Amino acid sequence: MLLSQLLAGAPLTHPLDPHQNREVSGVVERSSAVMAGAVFVAVPGFTVDGHQFVDDARRRGAAAVVVRAGHLAPPADWDHAACAWIAVEDTRRTLSALAANWHGRPAGGMRVVGVTGTDGKTTTTFMTAAVLNALGGHTGLISTARIKVGPRWEENRTRQTSLEPLDVHATMARMRDAGVTTAVIEASSHGLALHKLDDCAFAVAVFTNIGEDHLDFHQTRAAYWQAKARLLELVARGQGPAGPRFAVLNADDASHAYLSERAPVPACSFSLEQPADLRGTILDARADGSRVRLSGRWGRGELWVPMAGSFNVANALAAAAVGLGHDLALPVVAEALARFPGVPGRMMRVDEGQPFTVIVDYAHTGQGLHKLLAALRPLTTGRLIVVFGSAGEQSQERRAGLARAAAALADLAVVTSEDPRHEDPDAIIADIAAALAAVGRVEGRDFLRVTDRREAVRRAFALARPDDVVALTGKGHEQSIIVGDARVPWDEETVAREELRGLAARSGATR
């Protein structure tokens, strides 16, 4: 590809000098990945600024470097004939455009749905993809938990909700080559704010809810909400194939008015409590799912949601609204959701014959944990026990929010390690313990501290009685615990099964 083709649509501060136009061999954002003919994009990171490595990229054979205008000037000895110096307004935004161009803008040939929100994004993404299968053709999916390329499922090994732009468009190029016509992408506030998803040609924006999260990054609630609302702007761009362009909003959430005022495309609403375009009324809530009556602009009907909790009914309504907005009939949408197989690490039951219920879930925010425990509370005839922690290098408010949720709804909390990263796990646990004590919870009676996560699971199971519910939260589908820079292998479901079998063996040995 010619450099001029690669830069098409990028926010250049000056037109490319025709003498610098040349064939290029790829796009990279790490100088260590530069090979002869590559274009290096200098992206400012959170700990290291890529502009520090432009000379290293030149020495490695880069055909061009892309820098932010005014941030760095070329050295006096820079050989512009050998390595073009490209100044742009925003290198993050440019990286997205170049990644899309390099792969032939694969999203432009698909119907792309973006799903964002504080909680419920992954489940709604999976449900939406299941509904849109009814449109025919192959569907693709990018989520925190899994990636789907046509008929093939893959792990998302990055642990990022929104992949880096080079990975996003490489994945979508594989989708295109596999015949995918409809893709559903989970969109994080980080991904939207950092322009990772700018060139995904979204046609539909789905909002599950917006609370308060990631303030360590966004700093203010207003900035967090604004980042989420960027998905509306991306839909309004009008890229991609012809077809309906709209937003799906939660009428029960505080964000509804905020997003409605800012929606530059038609919006439809879903609700369990308010008048809406798609209204769901729960007729029967059980541990294995909910039966729901549907009404609204698309007619009336019934829906079986095969996941427990009213929040999963809300997720299903959001997914249904996307299908109905694409002119799928209500019975077709209802059938697709009734056959939904679930999401790895989301409201997952683990059964090894024990006399109590074990649930594995990814809930890792105060709002998410509150919703999970509120869903389990009425289904629990014994005690509700929760095992949880909080990731390192996150805000104190997140830890306090988790503590408040556990204090309000659980009978016993076992506070443990999650992903401490470079923080002391005992210090994180101490913060949560202090927040629990601040609302009247007593250590030793209402909560325990157990730093080792496996030991915490073992303790919770040992304390569980018949008819209790034990919720293991915060890890869900993830396959590791991050300690420092290391990723320690961890599979919550596997550990739970091992500990349940161990408990049974120990119980049998003492009979």
39-65 core/surface letters (b: 16 or more CB in 10 A; e: else): bbbbbeeeeeebeebbbebbebebbbb
117 and 208 part of one domain: yes
Residue 95 lies in a domain: yes
Quick check: pTM over 0.75?
yes
173 and 283 part of one domain: yes
CA distances from 30 to 45, 260, 307, 461, 490 (A): 11, 40, 42, 46, 29
45 and 20 part of one domain: yes
377 and 332 part of one domain: no
CA distances from 485 to 360, 407, 418, 422 (A): 25, 32, 14, 8
pLDDT value, residue 416: 98
pLDDT value, residue 477: 86
Q: How many CB atoms lie within 10 A of CB 345?
A: 23
- CATH number, domain at 471? 3.90.190.20
The domain boundary, picked from 54, 81, 100, lies at 100
Residue 271 lies in a domain: yes
Q: Which amino acid is at 467?
A: D
Residue 478 lies in a domain: yes
> For 331-374, how does the pLDDT look when each residue is reduced to its tens digit (9 = 90+)?
999 999 999 998 888 888 899 999 999 999 999 989 889 989 99
> Per-residue pLDDT for the chain (511 aa), expressed as one digit of tens each?
999 999 998 888 888 888 889 999 999 999 999 999 999 999 988 788 999 999 999 999 999 999 999 888 888 889 888 999 999 999 999 999 999 999 999 999 999 999 999 888 999 999 999 999 999 889 999 998 899 998 999 988 776 777 899 999 999 999 999 999 999 999 998 899 999 999 999 999 999 998 766 656 666 888 888 889 999 999 998 777 888 999 999 999 999 999 999 999 999 999 999 999 999 999 998 878 999 999 999 999 999 999 988 989 999 999 999 999 999 999 999 999 999 998 888 888 899 999 999 999 999 989 889 989 998 999 899 999 999 999 999 888 899 999 999 999 999 999 999 999 999 999 999 999 999 999 999 999 999 999 999 999 999 999 999 999 999 999 988 889 999 999 999 999 999 999 999 999 887 765 5
150: left (phi over 0), alpha (psi -120 to 50) or beta: left
pLDDT value, residue 278: 98
294 and 442 part of one domain: no
The domain boundary, picked from 34, 68, 100, lies at 100
243 and 162 part of one domain: yes
pLDDT value, residue 156: 80
Domain span holding position 370: 348-506
355 and 452 part of one domain: yes
Residue 343 lies in a domain: no
Residue 457 lies in a domain: yes
CA distances from 197 to 37, 53, 171, 172, 326 (A): 26, 25, 13, 12, 22
User: Using an 8 Å Cβ cutoff, are 141 and 174 in contact?
Assistant: no
372 and 312 part of one domain: no
Domain count, the chain: 3
The domain boundary, picked from 73, 100, 127, lies at 100
- CATH number, domain at 146? 3.40.1190.10
